[in-house]
Chain A
Amino acid sequence: MNAAKTTSKDFLLAVEGLTVSFDGFKAVDDLSFYLDPKEIRVIIGPNGAGKTTVLDLICGKTKATSGSIKFAGKELTRLKEHQIVHSGVGRKFQTPSVFEDLTVFENLEVSYPQGHSVMGALAFKRDAAVIEAVEAVADTIFLSDALDQPAALLSHGQKQWLEIGMLLIQKPDLLMLDEPVAGMSVAERQKTAELLRRITKDHTVLVIEHDMQFVGDIADRVTVMHQGKVLSEGSIEHVKSDPKVIEVYLGH
């Protein structure tokens, strides 16, 4: 598939023949897909299709058995997690993982892309540029008023936003979000959709989501995964009318 495209070098992310096997079980099986710069791609699929594993593989949490992941021409499969982050890949986890013992400000400050080495973190100064960046991101994620609060006191939705903010401040080229609206109220969901639409202007985004309404709202293209493989790929309309997708995922 996508045979014509493999020759082109303009993709931001090119995943080819990616396979990972856990004790013989292939969670991701010879998977290939390609992201254009500034594209918003949503991955959908039934439980156990390997969606989260794909994100794990890209960000280095899980090591691939075979295949390649090229990001802006750089092979990611051999890099360590923090090196992948420095190449420009940001990852948000499914359950909000923020630093509960730190304030919102400190959460964002820790994520600021400076002073990442031990000595750098020792020498790091909270200068005007840092404060400005933190405040700008806090404004984007609706948390300007909560900067001095410990993150533990935030609501579930706010924690999700904070984690998205922690990615934004890293200024990644590729944002990967795992179910960003899971467990959110309707109002929070709408706000999140608005937030994502705003941030996707400057980023390439790879999202895993189940909420088809939300998927339709934000996706440029949709990849449907099933049993570790790509079942279908294309626009939301194309995917929705694909009989294979209806069979295994959407239902009749």
Chain B
Amino acid sequence: MKSSSPLKWFASREGLYYLALALLLVVILPLALDPFRLNMVGKYLTYAFVAIGLVMCWGKAGILSLGQGVFFGLGGYCMAMFLKLEASTPEATAIQSTPGIPDFMDWNQLTALPWFWEPFHSLSFTLIAIIAVPVILAFVIGFAMFTRRVGGVYFAIITQAIAAILTILIIGQQGYTGGVNGITDLKTLAGWDIRTDAAKTTLYFVCVGMLFLCLFAARFVQNRKLGRILVAMNAQENRVRFSGYDVAAFKIFVFCLAAAFAGIGGALFTLIVGFMSPSFIGIVASIEMVIFCALGGRLSILGAVYGALLVNAAKSGFSESFPELWPFAMGALFIGVVLAFPNGLAGLYQSYVMPLEERLFKRKPKTEAAAPAPQKPVEKKDEGRDYDPMLDQYSPEKS
């Protein structure tokens, strides 16, 4: 039904949700906002990559990571290192005691480029590293934790510790990393000036395009048997194990997938914002990322995008008027989500808007319902819990 024809899929309810998001991001926001605001939306969207990963990792598979900022940061730093090297030509840095190396290295009395910076002269290496570095770290962490059956709260604490360690490491190794200021003063990407309004608008659309690629990748995984195993593992890990699956391998996979998404988001963040610093990857940033996911609805990949957009928009709005109140507002938001609507916006949408939609949609699918008649009554018995494209839980996929 879904895979039969892509055109049909766009007319299905799930397809319409994706179309609506595309319409919002590609048409409405670019028309409604000036380049500065659009650039801000682009920044919010880079967090949506992390939130989608968290839906897969936390919402579906039940692995709560409080250190997604690490992977976001690694992707971002990889990009920033490339851009910084490009900006640090011998001509541009002629006044330094060692021309040709990034300015902060010169300030820290470094006289040569550190070995691990060397490969970032190459754009293709950088593009690979943006995904590979977070994934390799996620694999190492995942392998060490999941094969030893470390899970739940312990895993969350360890990921948070890793976020703290990475932040301290970056701040402490100022000469190699730019320290607390991060890597700033980025200018061009392969000769293309990323600071102009036109470039920022282009980057916004690149970001939207990448976001949809990641959405479809996540959707693909969740609709395969692998997606059902993740959900199954969440509730009945032992049953999955004794059905012949290596549970640790599946956990490592989904953790690496989330890390890859986060890495892509981080790299786009660097391009869109124009710098990278430890404040975007530490404990607080990582917890904020979990809130984006929780508010959007931790079972819905589309909800995660809206969650990231809304929380960040609220953050900017609040910070512009009452900067000191934002942490309290965010805390209240998180408590509110946990207490009042644990399935986030997607859950609210599902219980309040969907029944209305149901009535509108009921006329349309009649032609479709005529053929597979015996199954439809069973599906309609419990509305909301059953076929549900937002959560994509029990979608009866017929090949």
> B-contacting residues of A (Cβ < 8 Å)?
59, 61, 80-82, 85-86, 90-91, 93, 97-103, 105-107, 109-111, 113, 115-118, 121-127, 148-150, 153, 163, 166, 170
Contacts and interface: CB of A to CB of B under 8 A. Distances in A.
Contact of A101 (B235, B243, B379): B235
B249 A99 contact: no
Interface centre among B221, B229, B249, B396 (most CB of A within 10 A): B229
Nearest to B238: A97
B246 A122 contact: no
B235 A100 contact: yes
A122 B222 CA distance: 9
Contacts of B379: 148
Interface in B222-239: 224-226, 228-229, 231-232, 234-236, 238-239
A82 B396 contact: no
B393 interface: yes
B257 to A, nearest CB: 10
Given A59-B242, A116-B244, A150-B385, A99 B397 contact: no
Contacts of A124: 224-226
B399 A125 contact: yes
Contacts of B247: 82
A93 B239 CA distance: 8
Interface string B85-113: 00000000000000000000000000000
Given A121-B229, A121-B250, A99 B239 contact: yes
Interface string B131-154: 000000000000000000000000
B232 A101 contact: yes
Contacts of A127: 399
Given A109-B225, A116-B246, 7 more contacts: A98-B236, A115-B225, A116-B245, A121-B250, A122-B225, A122-B226, A150-B385
B125 interface: no
A148 B375 contact: yes
Contacts, number: 102
B238 A110 contact: no
Contact of A103 (B229, B245, B396): B396
A85 B396 CA distance: 28
Contacts of B349: none
B246 A148 contact: no
Contacts of A170: 243-244
B394 interface: yes
Nearest to B230: A121
A118 B232 contact: no
Contacts of B240: 110
A113 B226 contact: no
B399 A86 contact: no
B231 to A, nearest CB: 5
13 contacts: A82-B241, A85-B244, A90-B242, A97-B239, A99-B236, A100-B235, A101-B231, A111-B243, A121-B226, A122-B224, A122-B226, A127-B399, A148-B379
Interface string B355-399: 000000000000000000001001100100110000001101111
Contacts of B250: 118, 121
B280 interface: no
B334 interface: no
B148 to A, nearest CB: 13
B381 to A, nearest CB: 8
B253 A118 contact: yes
Contacts of A82: 241, 244-247
Nearest to B233: A99
Nearest to B382: A153
A99 B238 contact: no
Contacts of A116: 244-246
A120 to B, nearest CB: 8
Contacts of A115: 225
A101 B388 CA distance: 13
Nearest to B376: A148
A100 B239 CA distance: 12
